[in-house]
Amino acid sequence: MEAVPWKVSLHGGHSGAFCDHAEGTLQQILEAAVAQKMSVFGITEHAPRLGARFLYAREIELGWDVPKLERDFRAYRSALDPLVREFGPRLQVLRGFEAEVVPSASYSQVMRRYRSDMDFDYMVGSVHFVGEIIIDGEPEDFERALNRAGGLEALAIRYYEGVARMVEALRPEVVGHLDLIRKNGRTYGRLDTPAIRRSARETLEVIRRHGCILDLNTAGYRKGLGCPYPEPWLLRQAHEMGIGVCFGDDSHGPQQVGAGIEEARLYLLDNGVSEIRTLAKEGDRVVRRSISLQ
């Protein structure tokens, strides 16, 4: 089965073995990636959130604690190398993780330490929290974040400022789901007001300066947002600024591997983007490549 060069995902591969809200094993996920004719598949499990106050309700129900998250993360890292070797002839597997921005005071050191001490190929920098309140979780939490910020526009601006700070602090190769604020925020009002656009543009400037790749995240389809992250105005702005994008299926189980990637290719072409920028392994080095979507 011949892999399709542009079928690349740099964000996903969350699995039931290492994540409370995912399904299946890494083995099954990678088999699915081969079946989808993917050429490069980056596995990016969530990094631990080092604070009991950041545990999800389901994790608490399961009796999990912070040391358990750390143990699982180390086990996750150990599981990667044998899979890279096993799948090597059929699929290039990259070893990554999805960084968090909590706890605010220490995430920068913690995530950089994971990165350097555990020998990952790359990192996806994502912001799921504003002021330590989760913004892509339960509606009650989102309302709390809204009230704390003083409304949707203020929260969106704080969110984009948080993304810029994260990029400065972590210098991730990939920036995850840039307008994740849409997931819960869109029912409360517009997320493209002039002030929000200004803030997002400043964040894009930081992303451009650090040479990060934007995650064209197809979970937007499954979450009912009608398009991937980022939405068209943001994607076009990024493209005009010369920022590269790459698909991320944000898969949380084998059945989500590659989901939405065909539509997302057309979405990119419709918005004037005719190539993806991706990461690949050459020997021990991680290099960047551009691949045509035509």
Residues that bind Zn ion (CB under 5 A): 14, 126, 176
Please state the closest distance from residue 52 (CB atom) to Zn ion, in A: 19
Cβ at position 27, least distance to Zn ion in Å: 19
User: Shortest Cβ distance from residue 177 to Zn ion (Å)?
Assistant: 6
Residue nearest to Zn ion (CB): 126
Closest to 293 (Cα-Cα) out of 268, 263, 256? 268
Segment holding 52, helix H or strand E = none
Task: Pick between residue 126 and residue 184 the one whose CB is nearest to Zn ion.
Answer: 126
Dihedral sign (CA 247, 182, 253, 284): positive
State which residue, 244 or 248, has the beta carbon closest to Zn ion: 248
Burial class (CB in 10 A: 0-12, 13-18, 19+), 174: buried
In this structure, the dihedral spanned by the alpha carbons of residues 116, 118, 119 and 120, taken in order and rounded to 10 degrees, is -100
Give the β-pairing of 129-130 and 133-134: antiparallel
- Residue among 273, 291, 282, 223 nearest 252 (CA): 223
| Interatomic CA distance for residues 115 and 6, integer angstroms | 27
Closest to Zn ion by CB, 36 vs 126, is 126
Longest dimension (CA), the chain: 53
User: Cβ of 214: how many Cβ atoms within 10 Å?
Assistant: 25
Cβ distance to Zn ion smaller for residue 126 or 218: 126
β-bridge pairing 285-292 and 275-282? antiparallel
Nearer to Zn ion, 42 or 176 (CB): 176
From the CB of 272, what's the least distance to Zn ion, in Å?
A: 26
CB 156 within 8 Å of CB 185: yes
Q: Which is nearer to Zn ion, 3 or 80 (CB)?
A: 80
Q: CB of residue 260 vs Zn ion: minimum separation in angstroms?
A: 15
CA 90 – CA 86 distance, rounded (Å): 9
**How near is the Cβ of 95 to Zn ion at its closest, in Å?**
17
Nearest residue (CB) to Zn ion, 3 versus 181: 181
Query: What is the closest distance, in whole angstroms, from the C-beta atom of residue 282 to Zn ion in the complex?
Result: 28
